[in-house]
Structure 1
Amino acid sequence: MFFNFLKRQIEHKKRLTVGVLKPYDLGKIQGDWDQIEQLIRVGKPSALKEAVIIGDKLLDYALSQISYGETTGERLKNAREAFPKMIYQDLWEAHKVRNAFVHDSHFDLTQLMARDTLAKFKAAFVTLGAKL
């Protein structure tokens, strides 16, 4: 009985705690973002798709360092308090865009949509302390 109480307390505390990115993690984000910017400069649809995929993977990496969960979606839900409301909502939209074109072969990722999605990822990384 006491064990169950402790387990519930730990789970509750986990839900209230969001970590902070370490200098190594911030460096990784900055390095990977340089690759994303190179792909943006290429400007081809395939390069922009790759940039969005890298951005989403980078989001998952960052969230795995500050939150918990099995998937990007779970980690994002558990990291809600790490972001202002608008950035949090934008991150969900960006993640959904990535999922849409990865899982739906008929989804058309326009250049404008790709750039908007990447801007949303960038705002989140800056919020977490990255210098981009």
Structure 2
Amino acid sequence: MVPDDNDIIYQTRGLDIVGIVERVTAFFRGDTLSSAGGFSSFLTFLGHFWQVYSIIAIALALLFFAGFIYAKIRYGQLGEILDAQIEEGEKRWDELHGGGSKTGTNVRWQEVMTHVASQNPNDWRLAIIEADILLEDTLEGAGFPGATIGEKLKSANPTSFTTLQDAWDAHKIRNQIAHSGSDFVLTQRIAQEAIIKYERVFKEFGIL
């Protein structure tokens, strides 16, 4: 049926991928501009090319945006997991050591006493080292200045710190263990005497 003047003719336009490829090929062969209406065809090609480029650019932008949102969500979840692990670790520390309370100190001190009562010389060394760590925490909590235990003890006043010499004597045993290693012969008697001196210090500061 041939349309007359009263008929409405709809024109359908689609994205001619094959045509675009042919125009690109012709352009690089030099055929486009040399043929009749070549410049017009080239402009048409640019229009189609821009359509393809726009679609690809929008698709990539949406893809990157979705990836960014996913990464942000995963990063937040990872942060929550790490926070939970840190919190769990702190809870375990508080359960083992009482968060620095007197009860926690007593638990740590019981571990020291268990080690020094052992028949294993390595446990005696461990008892001295753990007691010295507790001494450092005690001096730190009491507000003695200094970066090391030695500096804190040097800043102490023997008038107000009556067991200062005990602290020095016990700390020197720890230093011999740390610096001399296996060359220092630590007997159980020496270890027990050092622990007794640590205990006097801790009792003076009221943590035992």
Q: CA deviation at 1:24?
A: 4.2
Residue of structure 1 equivalent to 2:107: 31
Residue of structure 1 equivalent to 2:204: 127
Q: What do you get for the CA RMSD once the two structures are aligned?
A: 1.8
AA of the residue aligned to 1:100: Q
AA of the residue aligned to 2:178: V
Residue of structure 2 equivalent to 1:44: 120
TM-score after normalising by structure 2: 0.48
Contact 1:29–1:125, Cα closer than 8 Å, also in 2 = no
Q: CA deviation at 1:103?
A: 0.4
AA of the residue aligned to 1:38: T
Q: Which runs of 4+ in 1 moved over 4 A?
A: none
1-side partners of 2:110 and 2:116: how far apart?
Answer: 10
Q: CA deviation at 1:122?
A: 0.5
Contact 1:52–1:118, Cα closer than 8 Å, also in 2 = yes
**Mean Cα deviation higher: 120-129 or 40-49:** 40-49
TM-score after normalising by structure 1: 0.73
Q: CA deviation at 1:26?
A: 2.9
- Which structure 2 residues correspond to residues 13-92 of structure 1 after superposition, within 5 A? 24-66=100-142, 67-81=144-158, 82-84=160-162, 87-92=163-168
Contact 2:128–2:195, Cα closer than 8 Å, also in 1 = yes
Which of the pair has more CA radius of gyration?
Answer: 2
Q: Residue 98 of structure 1: which of 146, 171, 174 is its match?
A: 174
2-side partners of 1:24 and 1:98: how far apart?
Answer: 22
Q: CA deviation at 1:78?
A: 2.2
Unpaired segments ≥5 residues, structure 2: 1-98
Contact 1:55–1:118, Cα closer than 8 Å, also in 2 = yes
Give the length in aligned residue pairs.
Answer: 107
Contact 2:116–2:188, Cα closer than 8 Å, also in 1 = no
Contact 1:63–1:79, Cα closer than 8 Å, also in 2 = no
Answer 1 or 2: higher relative contact order, Cα 8 Å, separation at least 6: 1
2-side partners of 1:72 and 1:101: how far apart?
Answer: 15
Residue of structure 2 equivalent to 1:9: none
Unpaired segments ≥5 residues, structure 1: 1-22
Residue of structure 1 equivalent to 2:40: none
Q: CA deviation at 1:79?
A: 3.1
AA of the residue aligned to 1:94: A
In structure 2, do the counterparts of structure 1 residues 47 and 62 end up closer, same or farther at CA, with 3 Å as the change threshold?
same
2-side partners of 1:58 and 1:41: how far apart?
Answer: 18
